[in-house]
A and B are shown apart, each in its own frame.
Chain A
Amino acid sequence: MSEFGLVALLVGALGLIAIGIAGLVLARNLFRLVLALAVAEAGANLLLVLAGFRQGASAPIIEGGSTLHQVAMVDPIPQAMVLTAIVIGVGVQALALALAVRAREAYGSLDMDQLRARMEADIIAAAGTAPTTSQEAPSGARPLPPPLPSPARIAAEEPSS
């Protein structure tokens, strides 16, 4: 592979990381946050594979049952590491999605800011302390969306076919 190709791959990997991190910082939707995490992880994995790449080497699989291998092979360790990293990423993303599902069920929103406000309100209510944040906030309950109606109710309200 040409020198240019390698740099392009590097730029691609770092670009994925940058996009993913920017998404993590800017996105407010929980699902998008998880997707952004996945994008960033893809970038990091690509970077890891790049770290083991050798110019003109073949995949680390011995062909034809011969223990003699004249051809240079790429570093197998980063490949194994990537395998591990991918699986770890899958696990974490699944967990994050499950949490998002539950959060939406409870608070009726996937918006991080709203969820955070509800969470803080819940923490304060559970602790029984007065809110410590803003003293200027309008008194009374904050205008947060009501929880989504349960699926059973959706089903009931739909015009029956």
Chain B
Amino acid sequence: MIALTVALPLLAAFLLPLLPALARQFLGPLVLLAVAAFGLCLAGNALDAPSVVAIGDFRPPLGIVFYADGVAGLFVFAIAVVTLLLWPCATPNGQPDPQITRKHSLTLLMAAASCALALSGDLFNIYVFYELAAVAGYGLAAGSRTPAAQVATFRFTLLGSLGSLLALIGITLIYFRAGSLNLAHLAELAPSTLHDPLGLAGFLLILLGFGVKSELFLVNSWAPEVYATAESRVSALLAGLISKLALLAVVRLLVLVFPVPEASQLLLVLGMLGILTGELAAYRARDFRRLLAWSSIGQLGAAFVAFAIPGPAGLMAGIAVALHHLMVKPALFLLAERWGGNLAQLAGAARNSPIAAALFVLFALSLIGVPPLPGFWAKYLLLSGLAGEPAGLWWLAGLVVLTTTVVEAVYLFRIIGTLYGHQQGSVMQSRTATTGSGIFALLLVGTALSAPLLAAPLQKMATQLADTDGYVAQVISATITAPQRSGTAP
């Protein structure tokens, strides 16, 4: 079942161009529904104990393992649901898109790669699927087929490839030093071999490499360009989903192999700068898409800061921040499908499309952390995690989060003011956009209402994610489904 979450979407992606038109419509969503169901099962099972599968039945340090703990299951579920909601469909002006099958294929590939990123327990395997997600992302980003999108994607591709190159060098360093790629094995080896400048250099290179997709500060200048030119749904996928999964991969590495203060502080400082630059740049943004791009840079900075906090508290905060952003940002990008462009055009839009405006208000309130919306709890967990650390850099990060939230509130409320203002802008109406983001809004409100119920499983997941010894024990003792494969197979 664990491997199926990756294999099924890949299979569907391969076969999609060959199928008759009718089947093309339904195969993708059906597969994603199945993956969502798998994800729920995995998350549910993992609350008892995480499950491990050794791909190809090879004992773990030799072969590749997929490790499904609660977080992985949750993210698999989220990947499937979010991809389903952002499933490429007709272009905004209602024309059927002749390229739609290719987009569907790429989206499925991206979903498969994301699932693998969440599950994989092997460093190089993570690299491969990161690349798959990246290439599919490049393809989708260029999919709006405007010249600007192609130039932006070209720049994105180059930056991403250079990042991957650095990550590959980092992996080489680590492999050269430790002689293994399995994360559990590396976790065992790390204290004696990798907690030195050499190992940390490897981590730094991997962080910078994977940081490209997770919009880490220093390597995120592609985001405003690409999000301004790509289709909104693609931006939503990149900002909402892929960034989180790249982040999750880095976090696994951080927790299992590099639980050292230097690594956390690196994440903390870069995350902090990401928040500052992102939110402040968004403050001056004049068009909706780039505003969202900058704001998502800021939010991911917050996620980096959260994951930098050592121990289950930090992981919990990180998961909460990441999941919250996963619910809000795609929904906002869906609104941008209709509202993309100059913010001044939005004047008075609330009268034409009251539902969309109300949704925007809801998301804005959650983003800035108004209780009892989930954004508040994410922010609370993040801040109390930071406050629990010794004074200094950690508290500075807390201060940065607090002050930038004020900035965030100002620019979001400026838009709300424009929406409900008394001037007349020029914004058209379209119905599909509200449906998609409406579902996200329902999810958000549902989360808010069931927060007391969700807290315990979330805590359990964070504990699992932080439990390095458990991980190692689980993986190393992973039961091979059949004792000796060569004899039994026909």
Contact = CB atoms under 8 A, between A and B. Distances in A.
Chains A and B form a bound pair: yes
Interface of A: 17, 20-21, 24, 30, 33, 37, 40-41, 44, 47-48, 51, 77-78, 81, 84-85, 88-89, 91-92, 95-96, 99-100, 102-103, 106-107, 112, 115-116, 118-119, 122-123, 126-130, 132
11 contacts: A17-B169, A24-B158, A44-B169, A44-B172, A88-B164, A96-B157, A103-B147, A106-B150, A122-B148, A123-B225, A127-B341
A44 B176 contact: no
A119 B149 CA distance: 8
A41 B124 CA distance: 16
A132 B286 CA distance: 9
A89 to B, nearest CB: 8
B229 A91 contact: no
Contact of B147 (A33, A85, A91, A102): A102
A78 B124 CA distance: 10
Contact of B172 (A41, A48, A89): A48
A44 B168 contact: yes
B155 interface: yes
B147 A122 contact: yes
B158 A37 contact: yes
Given A96-B158, A129-B342, A47 B165 contact: no
A96 B154 contact: yes
Contact of A99 (B153, B162, B165, B345): B153
Interface of B: 124, 128, 131, 135, 138-139, 142, 146-148, 150-155, 157-158, 161-162, 164-165, 168-169, 172, 175-176, 181, 225, 228-229, 284, 286-290, 340-342, 344-345
Nearest to A132: B286
A51 to B, nearest CB: 4
Contacts of B135: 88, 91-92, 95
B162 A37 contact: yes
Nearest to A100: B154
Given A84-B128, A95-B139, A103-B147, 17 more contacts: A17-B169, A30-B154, A44-B168, A51-B175, A78-B172, A88-B131, A92-B135, A95-B157, A119-B229, A122-B146, A122-B148, A123-B229, A127-B286, A127-B287, A127-B290, A127-B342, A130-B286
* 7 A-B pairs closest in CB distance: A106-B147, A127-B287, A122-B148, A128-B342, A51-B176, A129-B286, A119-B151
A21 B341 contact: no
Given A47-B169, A123-B228, A99 B147 contact: no
Interface-centre pick from B157, B165, B286, B340 (highest chain A CB count, 10 A): B165
Contacts of A44: 165, 168-169, 172
B150 A103 contact: yes
A40 B341 contact: no
By DSSP majority rule, is chain A's interface helix, strand, loop, or mixed? helix
A146 B33 CA distance: 49
Nearest to A96: B157
Given A107-B151, A116-B151, A99 B168 contact: no
A103 B142 CA distance: 11
Contacts of A89: 161
B287 A48 contact: no
Contacts of A107: 147, 151
Interface-centre pick from A88, A91, A123, A126 (highest chain B CB count, 10 A): A123
B487 to A, nearest CB: 16
B131 A99 contact: no
B157 to A, nearest CB: 5
A115 B147 CA distance: 9
Contacts of B151: 99, 103, 107, 115-116, 118-119
A99 B142 CA distance: 8
Nearest to B141: A99
Contacts of B284: 132
A49 to B, nearest CB: 10
Given A21-B162, A48-B172, A96-B158, A128 B341 contact: yes
B175 A95 contact: no
B286 A116 contact: no
Contacts of A119: 147-148, 151-152, 225, 229
A92 B157 contact: yes
B93 to A, nearest CB: 14
Contacts of B340: 127
Nearest to B147: A106
Nearest to B157: A96
A115 B162 CA distance: 20
Interface-centre pick from B128, B154, B286 (highest chain A CB count, 10 A): B154
A95 B172 CA distance: 25
Contacts of B157: 92, 95-96, 99
Contacts of A100: 154
A40 B228 CA distance: 30
A157 to B, nearest CB: 24
A54 to B, nearest CB: 12
Contacts of A126: 146, 148, 228-229, 341
A103 B157 CA distance: 14
B150 to A, nearest CB: 5
Given A116-B151, A126-B148, A78 B175 contact: yes
A88 B132 CA distance: 8
Contacts of A37: 158, 161-162, 165
Interface-centre pick from B139, B176, B284, B341 (highest chain A CB count, 10 A): B176
